[in-house]
Structure 1
Amino acid sequence: MTTLIESARWSVWARATKMGAAAWMAGDGVVWLHLLKTALAALLAMGIAMRLELSSPRTAMATVAVLMQPFSGMVLSKSFYRVVGTTLGTIAAVMLGAIFPQQSALYMLGMTVWISACTAAAVRYRQFQWYAFVLAGYTAALIGIPVVMEPGGLFMAALTRAAEVTIGILCSGAVSALFLPLRSSTALQRILRTRYSHFCLFAASVLGEKIDDVAYEGRFADLVDQIVGFEATRKFASFEDPNTRVRSRRLARLNSEFTNACTRLHALHQLLKRMHAGRTTPVLDAVRPYFDELSDLLVRLKDTMKPDGTRAASAALELDRFQSRLPEFAGETRRLLATAAPELLLDFDTTMELLYRFVDEFRRYTEAYASLNDQNHALERTVTRHAVTTNGYVVGFTFLRAVLAVGAMGALWIATDWPSGGYAVIGAAVACALSSTSADTSKFAAQMAVGVALATVAGYFFTCFVYPNIEGFPLLCAVLTPVLAFGAFLSMRPSTAGYGGAFGLLFCLLAGPDNVVVYTPDLVINNGIAVVVGMLVSSVVFAVIFPTQMPWRIERIKRDLRRQMKLVCEGTLGGLDQAFQSSTHDLMFQLRALLLKHSEQHRDALRWMLALLEIGHSIIDLRNETFDMPYAERLQPGWEAALDTVRRDLVDLFEQPDSARLTHAVTSVEAAIRIAQSLRGTLRADREKRHRMQRILSYLHFIRTALLDSGAPFYGSAERLHRATAPRVRQPHD
């Protein structure tokens, strides 16, 4: 008996220990593992560079400091783009040296233009493509500026740096992938499971009307980040895992289908809210059983996803069965409602059409998930367009801002003949490059300056008191490990990333050990001060000239967001929904980075995005349904002109929203609804064409309700009080 009790206690203790270890590894363990791997990779790169007798092993260490990430896919992706960026930067440095030999002023002018152009391109292309451009910029400065007056040594300096960077890249990738690897593909699988489960619960709460507007807006805003973040994780995982690479297009399609399902869910939520405000209780009572049944189904589906997704196909079948029954049941309910309240048929038809579309999008999302189980699948041959949108003025002003910051340091260096002035230029170049996509560039550059100051103090201490008192490579590794881990620790936290990145990079560059250590603490201090000055000047330029948080920039991005309506109304239909969805979410993601959460500006931008998504998606549906309908214009002359007027008025409204344009848009939509109702009556004998016209009516009616929504961003606070009395378009008895 005692043995059994002890065995049970041991089992409980072992299980608790295992759970505690798993929880620690998922939290603090990831941090400690990252610190250990960063230090290990940096020391390995330093040792190999020393063994090969390269002139500056510190460059290999610095490469590791900026490359290491918690997940191996991030490291491999970053390494690839670093190779590209370093190659371009090396070529640029050599070319500028060849064009302007021993002409420091002209060389500095060409270098300034190159760095600024690369920084502007980094703002245009984000994620790790950004990294290739920033590396191409400041790599040219790191190679060329120290030997600007020694053109004979430029080519050898470029080759040596390329070799040192390559060693750093290889060591980072090897340690990340082989030593206790944390794979992006594993994180991607976890994201897939949790996102499906959470979205099922979110959709069930929306359909069951169990979520308030504030919680809904916050949850939907988080979905924007998930959609953009998933695309980045997919690309990271493709670098490290061949199975993910084989399924890359399906994963892109999966994210697109998820985006569509989110948009349909939002449209349903908005329509339910408007019907509550518009006193359409009979319609709500009529559709409630379908919403409740779907809500219960989604709650059951949230638990059907096993790690391998084997039950995704069965979940898709359940959704398909619900969708196939929906038209028949809706037809019966419609006949009852036609007798009791025929004036509400258009509201009922619109609601059921949106419900049908949401189920269809959710089923397609589930089927895309299920396709991941197959090694080869037809979806892998599809191409999903993911558009990235950046305002041209923002890119242009980023270029000008970098020209001013780097050019000012270059002019100071040449005018004063400051021995460490080249490092001031390098500091400005690094600050411009690494802060280019930060939400607050001035603050980030100031953080980097503080990080460099700390690195200078640490470098002075190591040069004066550590290096002279140690002997041998093992002891060198032992004393460098804490300082390397400290920089990596700061870099992992968003609030201190600027300090940590600059500390790790500049400690290696200023005071990292070389094959022949030269004890020159004065040089370390002078060069460190120069880098700090360059970064502080850049911070001042960012704060005074074209600041990131300036209202002009935010309004420009908002205007670009509203201009997405022009893309919807005038763009080519092929792939339009994907381009519209991805570019709209990308613009909102940029605004989310610039605006404080829960601020009035953030809520206003979110309302514009939501209004754009619901109306834009309906316009795309409307254009698809009305495509190739020559009989409509013959039966009802003016039909195509009415639709053109609707699209034109919507573009004008989103471009310059005011009450007059809103009135024109509502009037044109109502005119199109009346023509569509007449056409539906004319096409009564043709079931397929009548149903098609019914869907068109539903889209037009939904656009009208969106334009008349009291919470829409088209209205000022005073105007919202007068909208509930707007006349309704009544549906004739069918």
Structure 2
Amino acid sequence: MKRQHAISPTSDSIEKWHALLRDLSPGVRNWVSTDGLVWLHLLKTVTAGLLALGIAMVLDLPQPRIAMSTVFVLMQPFSGMVLAKSFYRIVGTAVGAMAALTLGALFVQQAELHMLGMTIWISACIAAAVRYRHFRWYGFVLAGYTAALIGIPTVAAPHDLFLAALTRAAEVTVGIVCSSAVSALIVPQRSSLALLRALELRYCNFTAFAADVLSRQVSRSAFERRFAALVDEIVGFEATRIFAAFEDPAMRLRSHRLGRLNSEFMDACARLHALHQLLKRSHAGNASATMATIDPCLRELAALLTLRRDASVDVSHVSARLRQFQTALPRHVRQIREQLHEPSAELLADFDTAAELLYRFVDECAKYSDTYSALARREDRPQERSANHYVSITNGYVVAFTFIRSATVMGIAACFWIGTGWPSGGLAVIGAALACALTSTAPDPTNMAVQMGLGSALATLVGYAFTCYVYPNIDGFPLLCVMLAPVLATGAYLATRKRTAGLGVGFSVFFCLLAAPDNVVVFEPDLLINNGVALTASMFLAAIVLATVFPADMRWLIERIIGDLRAQAVLACKDQRPELNQRFQSSTHDLASQLRLLLTRRSRRRRHALRWMLATLEVGHAVIDLRNEVSRAHYLQPLDPRWRPAVEAVLDRLAQLFERPDARTLDGAFVAVRSAIWTAQDLLAAVRTDPGKRHDVQRILSCLHFIRTALLDKDAPFASR
């Protein structure tokens, strides 16, 4: 009972929020749910930034601007995101400070060696951030960036290093506390609420999509587009789940259930994709008339799932209806099968495979509905404590090239600084580190670096105007807040727009670093311009290097990532670890999401990568089903000594096909699958008198036949190799 009450505050918050929205007019409700949230985020961001500035001034910290810039780097729309980032920022700041102290102690007044060590450290941190991604990304980035902020300005004055580390940590802590407090206390937008709304929307979208697929109303291009959107939701769900766990104890208690829900959603999507593929192939071939006989079952299931579009339908009711449909499905299929007029063995295999895939899809869809319904009702179920492994994979070349790109950018900036003795050269190195860090996981890092450079140039111009004309003519902290608020809000607003995110981040952060007031204001506009030029130059230097030195979307690297994607099918064929299905599903979706971020929208390369993802999911899932069915039907080997070698040949040939896809390996895989089908048909005749064993062999035959149709699919990427 205690666990059921743990989530009640979140439930009350949802009900109060929905009640408030219902009391408003439709126009106001729409504004509150869209632009109103943006304005609320701007208000909270500016409030937190000015609060951090004021507290740092009261504490007489040397650079209050660092506390304010911390807020703009840290602030997010949802409080869970801010708390998660704050936690890892604290860890990263502590590690970075220790790294700066260590490098300063090892290379006292040795600028060349100190910058070499700093470059290696920061580049390694950025590479590790790309490797681990998601919520851990921020900790690694801060470990590198903080070391630069502390260590680089004190290269020539090592006696100031320890004091700089302490004051830097204090300034960052003020920014962390202010952003976290404002986000959590002023009209908090909780990640847990956003997660629950996203789950509801995802369930509605999935059932509507499934109903369209079952009704055969989705074209190939539309299916690929909508299925790819589901892949993005699967990957994004994991990050949101972590954010929600930071702010809501109830979500932490139900973390395993949420992981289970995502796993079951992946299974349901995979079953839907397999069923769609078989229906598409049968419609294009000679089996369309035979397969049309199963359309009544498909239409009935589509009508059942379409009910979910009505918000008044209870998910538990839909789940119960799915179980009823699943119970009655075998009888309906037998009746339809008996009415077929002398079908060939090929057409009968198509029909049996479609029926088996339909049954499996209903089963996975019912499991997904059961878990989602239990989560909505806050029930405590034993299976939520089971392990759910979500595996993220990053190609080793991507990590290595990230290290090389970051080291190249910082090396060029450091060599120029040391060679010329430019007073603002140290800030250029810091800017280079910041550019490499913030663009490391961006979909288009070059464009983001260019936007950050433009934001830095704009921040320099606005900062010059403030330094020369605003600060000398105002007096007192309240008036300072009034003058800063519009500028800070503008930068925060630009950062919320997808097309101008880099511009907004660059303007907000660099305006704070360049022109935000300190406790002792120094009138040095020439220094401000020098620093602004240094930051802007470092941003454009980063853009040039990112576009020329191992760019993230180069064809060779994309092919390596696609190779990692295909390797997941090899894993499905050979891996013996437990939870194989969850590992296969999560890693495949994770790699597919990376490819979608790297490749241009509506490009041929993106469609090619998507089709490899679909083929990998299709064949890999069928192979896992085949291995599970074969392990349960262990009694088949004594009946026919050819059986185990035939299955092993199928697994070996399919693994070779995904390792080296070409016409020869495709022919070898097809021959192995066909031979296994013939052996399984002989076994089916041998066990025909035993209903249980007959059903086992029929399920094995369905898996093999589905793999065969996948290999023959003209739209599959095998044929294009």
* 1:685 has 2:689 as partner: yes
Q: How does 1:460-539 map to 2 (within 5 A)?
A: 460-539=464-543
Alignment pair present for 1:414 and 2:421: no
TM-superposed CA distance for 1:334, in Å, is 2.4
Shift of 1:716: 3.0
Aligned to 2:84: 77
Residue 144 of structure 2 is aligned to residue 137 of structure 1: yes
Aligned to 1:228: 235
CA distance in 2 between counterparts of 1:302 and 1:84 reads: 45
Amino acid in the other structure paired with 2:446: S
State the partner residue of 2:715: 711
- Tell me the distance in 2 between the aligned counterparts of 1:525 and 1:395: 35
Alignment counterpart, residue 51 of structure 2, candidates 36, 39, 44: 44
Shift of 1:549: 2.2
* Aligned equivalent of 1:327, options 307, 322, 330: 330
One of 351, 360, 363 as aligned partner of 1:360: 363
Offset, 1:472: 0.4
1:345 deviates by 2.0
In 1, the alpha carbon distance for the partners of 2:362 and 2:99 equals 54
Among candidates 248, 255, 261, match of residue 254 of structure 1: 261
The answer to whether the 8 Å contact 2:304/2:318 transfers is no
Structure 1 segment 451-462 matched on structure 2, within 5 A: 451-462=455-466
Where do residues 194-205 of structure 1 align in structure 2 (5 Å cutoff)?
194-205=201-212
- More divergent stretch after superposition (702-711 vs 514-523): 514-523
1:561-576 matched pairs, under 5 angstroms? 561-576=565-580
CA gap of 1:202–1:15, structure 2 versus 1, over 3 A, is closer
Distance (Å, rounded) in 2 between the aligned partners of 1:664 and 1:211: 33
Shift of 1:581: 0.8
In structure 1, the gaps of 5 or more residues are 1-13, 718-734
1:230-629 alignment runs, 5 A limit: 230-303=237-310, 311-337=314-340, 339=342, 344-372=347-375, 373-374=377-378, 376-627=380-631, 629=633
* Corresponding residue SS for 1:54: coil
The corresponding residue for 1:105 is 112
Distance 2:341 2:107 in 1: 83
Distance in 1 (CA, whole Å) between partners of 2:345 and 2:676 is 20
Q: Per the alignment, do residues 15 and 666 of structure 1 end up closer, same or farther by CA in structure 2, a change over 3 Å counting?
A: closer
From the superposition, tell whether residues 348 and 15 of structure 1 become closer, same or farther in structure 2 (CA, over 3 Å). closer
Q: Distance in 2 between matches of 1:157 and 1:340?
A: 82
Equivalent residue runs for 1:625-664 within 5 Å = 625-627=629-631, 629-664=633-668
Distance in 2 between residues matched to 1:508 and 1:301, nearest whole Å: 49
Instruction: Give yes or no for contact 1:89–1:135 (8 Å, CA) kept in 2.
Output: yes
Alignment check: 8 A CA contact 1:193 1:305 kept = no
In 2, Cα distance between equivalents of 1:519 and 1:39: 25
Letter in 2 for 1:79: S
Q: Secondary structure at the match of 1:684?
A: coil
C-alpha separation in 2, matches of 1:302 and 1:644: 45
Partner SS state of residue 442, structure 2: coil
Matched-pair contact (CA < 8 Å) for 1:448–1:499: yes
- Matched residue type, 1:197: C
Query: Structure 1 CA distance, aligned partners of 2:345 and 2:390?
Result: 43
Distance 1:48 1:343 in 2: 77
Q: Is the 8 A contact 2:649 2:672 kept in 1?
A: yes
Shift of residue 445, structure 1, vs aligned partner: 1.3
Question: Normalising by the residue count of structure 2, what TM-score does the alignment of the two structures yield?
Answer: 0.95
For 1:111, the aligned partner's letter is M
CA distance in structure 2 between the partners assigned to 1:688 and 1:38 by the alignment = 64
- 2:17 corresponds to: none
Letter in 1 for 2:364: E
Following superposition, the deviation at residue 687 of structure 1 comes to 2.1
Contact 1:439 1:549 in 2 (8 A): no
Q: Secondary structure at the match of 2:25?
A: helix
Stretch moving more, 534-543 or 336-345: 336-345
1:439 to partner: Cα distance: 2.3
2:636–2:643 contact (8 Å) kept in structure 1: yes
Dislocated runs of 4+, deviation >6 Å? none
CA distance in 2: counterparts of 1:170 and 1:124, whole angstroms: 28
Alignment deviations for residues 244-290 of structure 1 (CA, whole Å, 9 cap, x no partner): 22212111111111111111001111101111122113422321111
* Aligned position for 2:220: 213
Code of the aligned partner of 1:587? L
Indicate the SS of the match to 1:715. helix
CA contact (8 A) 1:201 1:302 kept: yes
TM-score (norm 1): 0.93
Give % identity. 57
Distance change >3 Å, CA 340–CA 532, structure 1 → 2 = closer
Shift of residue 48, structure 1, vs aligned partner:
0.8
Contact 2:135/2:242, CA 8 A, preserved across alignment? no
The C-alpha deviation readout for 1:459-486, integer Å capped at 9, x for no partner, is 2111111111111010011111111111
What letter matches 2:589 in structure 1? Answer: H
Check the 8 A contact 2:257/2:384 in 1, yes or no. Answer: yes
How far apart, CA to CA, are the structure 2 residues paired with 1:396 and 1:74? 28
Q: Note the C-alpha offset of 1:342.
A: 5.5
- How far did residue 16 of structure 1 move? 9.5
| Cα distance in 2 for residues equivalent to 1:383 and 1:438 | 31
Q: Deviations over 1:192-238 (max 9, x none)?
A: 11111121111111111112222111111111111111222211111
> In 1, are the aligned partners of 2:398 and 2:552 still within 8 Å (CA)?
no
Cα distance between partner residues in 1 of 2:623 and 2:338 = 28
- Give the secondary-structure state (helix, strand or coil) at the position aligned to 1:495: coil
Q: Indicate how the Cα distance of structure 1 residues 398 and 93 shifts in structure 2: closer, same or farther if over 3 A, else same.
A: same
Structure 2 letter corresponding to 1:712: A
Q: Find the aligned partners of 1:474 and 1:567 in 2 and give their Cα distance.
A: 62
AA paired with 2:232? D
Partner residue of 1:176 out of 171, 177, 183: 183
Query: Does the 8 Å contact 1:246/1:375 carry over to 2?
Result: no
Matched residue SS, 1:563: helix
Distance 2:399 2:312 in 1: 43
Give the Å deviation of 1:243. 2.1
> For residues 537 and 229 of structure 1, what CA distance do their matches in structure 2 show?
31
Distance 1:35 1:279 in 2: 60
User: Once the two structures are superposed, what CA deviation does each residue of 1:680-726 show, in whole Å capped at 9, x if it has no partner?
Assistant: 11122322222111100000000000100121111139xxxxxxxxx
Once residues 145 and 80 of structure 2 are traced to their aligned partners in structure 1, the CA distance between those partners, rounded to angstroms, is 24
**1:367 Cα offset (Å):** 0.9
1:123 aligns with one of 116, 126, 130:
130
- C-alpha displacement at 1:113, in angstroms? 0.3
C-alpha distance in 1, partners of 2:632/2:323?
Answer: 28
Contact 2:305 2:318 (C-alpha < 8 Å) held by counterparts: no
Q: Distance in 1 between matches of 2:182 and 2:634?
A: 64
Distance 2:409 2:636 in 1: 61
1:340 deviates by 5.5
Q: Which residue of 1 aligns with 2:14?
A: none
